């Protein structure tokens, strides 16, 4: 209901975006110069998972579809890299990205075609079921996937070897890889921002708000949902591609349902009714998880409890709550 108060929105969203995004991007770019390589590594993980969150939220926040199976696309991206590294001996990060995107596009196109015939819970469980199929395949076809041991992925070459980090060891790799991720992250944010502010994005939001009326505007609802699903899957797949070289290993765990749950969680944590929600959620989540896992073995309970509490008392997430707070402290001038 907070969203319905009818506060006027600023005239030029482009300007507002630049005003917020540029300082933050500069800040992010400076991080490796003052943070140690472990914190840089965590932030890189955070940015990667934020890309997955952005993709996920195109479905949840903008299209009104709650997927419990986004691990499938993340895993597809990750395994695509692992197969290329192991079976084809490819080392180029750019080749990983291209093939990873293609493969996750194919998988999400097929899965999406099945899932968008349904909405609400049917959609949710279908996505869950399909991701479980991939998970069980990854476990059982061990001669291809390495089973529960997973597949190792060596450090790739960046920009066709133009960025060399050999000799610099792990810290050097991290700082280069961090910038690599940051650039892609910025591109992803800009592209997603464009998508949600495009006529297509508005159509998705219309479908979310009122499916029947959208159909009576002549919008082909199912097709729009399918394209949204595809984009969402590709984003999450890219996150998987970027994640593997950092982790050095991919296991079926990233295809398993709790991983989908983490994507759901971080989006809700940040706030799924905001564009920036999943970004903030992804970064906060990564740090939260790292420190929580270090202190307790029962990370999932914490996740579940926080999720329930979020839904019951803070349904707009961190960004939503901040926006409300700011709105209360500095009421916007009506223009």
Partner 1 sequence: MEILAIQILNSLFYASVLFLIAAGLSLIFGVMNIVNLAHGSLYALGAYITAWLIGRAIAGGSGASAIWLFLLMPIGALAVALVGAVIEPTLLRPLYRRAEEYQLLVTFGLLLILEDVMRFVWGGLPLTADTVVDALPIVRILGQLYPAYNLVVIGIGGIAALGLWAFVYRTRFGVMLRATSQDRRMASALGLDVGRVYILAFAIGCFMAGLGGAIVVPSQAAVLGMGVDALVLAFVVVVVGGLGSLKGALVGALIVSFVRTAGIQFFPEVELAVLYLIAGIVLLVRPTGLFGTA
Partner 2 sequence: MALLQTVNLTKRFGDFRAVNSVNFTVNQGEFLSLVGSNGAGKTTLVNLISAQLWPDTGQVLFEGRDITQATVFQRIRAGIARSFQLVNLFDRLTVLDNVSLAIFSREGKARNLATLAEGDREVRTEAMDVLGLFGLDTKRRLLAGGLAQGERKLLDVAVAYALRPKILFLDEPTSGVGTRDKAQIMDTISAVVRAGTVTAVVIEHDMDIVFKYSDRIVVMHEGAFLADGLPAEIRVNKEVATVLLGAAVPG
Which residues are near partner 1 by CB under 8 A? 60, 64, 66, 68, 114, 117-118, 120-122, 124-126, 128-130, 132-133, 136-137, 140-141, 257-258, 261, 264, 268, 272, 298-301, 303-308, 311-312, 315
What x/- string results for residues 222 through 261 when contact with partner 2 is judged by CB under 8 A?
--x--x----------------------------------
Residue 329 makes contact with partner 2 by CB under 8 A: no
φ, ψ dihedrals at 248, nearest 5°: 75, -5
CB of 35 to partner 2, least distance (A): 35
| Cα–Cα distance, 313 to 245 (Å, whole number) | 38
The DSSP line for 270-292 is H-TTSSSHHHHHHHHHHHHHHHH
Pick the piece of the chain touching partner 2 (CB under 8 A) from 2-10, 47-55, 139-147, 149-157: 2-10
| Cα–Cα distance, 289 to 299 (Å, whole number) | 8
> Which of residues 5, 27, 294, 328 is near partner 2 by CB under 8 A?
5
Task: Number of residues interacting with partner 2: please give it, by CB under 8 A.
Answer: 34
Q: What are residue 158's DSSP bridge partners?
A: 163
- The b-or-e profile of 107-122 (16+ CB within 10 A means b, else e) is bbeebbeebbeebeee
Site for partner 2 in 170-229 (CB under 8 A): 194-195, 197-203, 205-206, 208-210, 212-220, 224, 227
Residue number, 55 or 252, with CB nearest to partner 1:
252
Residue number, 180 or 272, with CB nearest to partner 2:
272
């Amino acid at each position: 209901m907070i969203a319905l108060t009818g506060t006027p929105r600023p005239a030029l969203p482009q300007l507002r975006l630049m005003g917020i995004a540029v300082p933050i991007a500069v800040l992010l770019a400076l991080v490796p110069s003052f943070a140690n390589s472990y914190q840089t590594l965590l932030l890189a993980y955070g940015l990667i998972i934020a890309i997955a969150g952005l993709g996920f939220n195109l479905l949840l926040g903008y299209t009104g579809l709650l997927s419990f199976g986004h691990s499938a696309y993340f895993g597809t991206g990750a395994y695509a890299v692992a197969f290329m590294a192991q079976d084809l001996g490819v080392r180029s990060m750019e080749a990983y990205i291209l093939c990873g995107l293609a493969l996750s596009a194919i998988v999400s196109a097929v899965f999406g075609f099945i899932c968008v015939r349904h909405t609400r819970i049917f959609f949710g469980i279908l996505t869950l079921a399909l991701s479980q199929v991939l998970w069980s395949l990854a476990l059982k076809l061990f001669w291809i996937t390495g089973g529960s041991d997973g597949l190792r992925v060596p450090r790739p070459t960046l920009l066709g070897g133009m960025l060399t980090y050999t000799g610099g060891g792990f810290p050097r790799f991290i700082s280069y890889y961090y910038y690599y991720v940051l650039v892609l992250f910025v591109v992803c944010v800009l592209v997603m921002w464009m998508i949600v502010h495009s006529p297509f994005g508005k159509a998705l939001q219309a479908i979310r708000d009122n499916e029947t009326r959208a159909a009576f505007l002549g919008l082909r609802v199912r097709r729009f949902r399918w394209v949204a699903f595809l984009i969402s899957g590709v984003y999450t797949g890219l996150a998987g591609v970027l994640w593997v070289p950092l982790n050095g290993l991919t296991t079926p765990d990233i295809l398993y349902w709790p991983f989908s749950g983490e994507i759901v969680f971080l989006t809700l944590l940040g706030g799924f009714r905001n564009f920036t929600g999943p970004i903030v959620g992804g970064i906060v989540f990564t740090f939260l998880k790292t420190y929580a896992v270090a202190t307790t073995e029962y990370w999932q309970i914490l996740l579940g409890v926080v999720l329930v509490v979020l839904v019951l008392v803070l349904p707009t997430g961190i960004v939503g709550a901040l926006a409300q707070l700011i709105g209360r402290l500095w009421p916007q001038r009506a223009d």
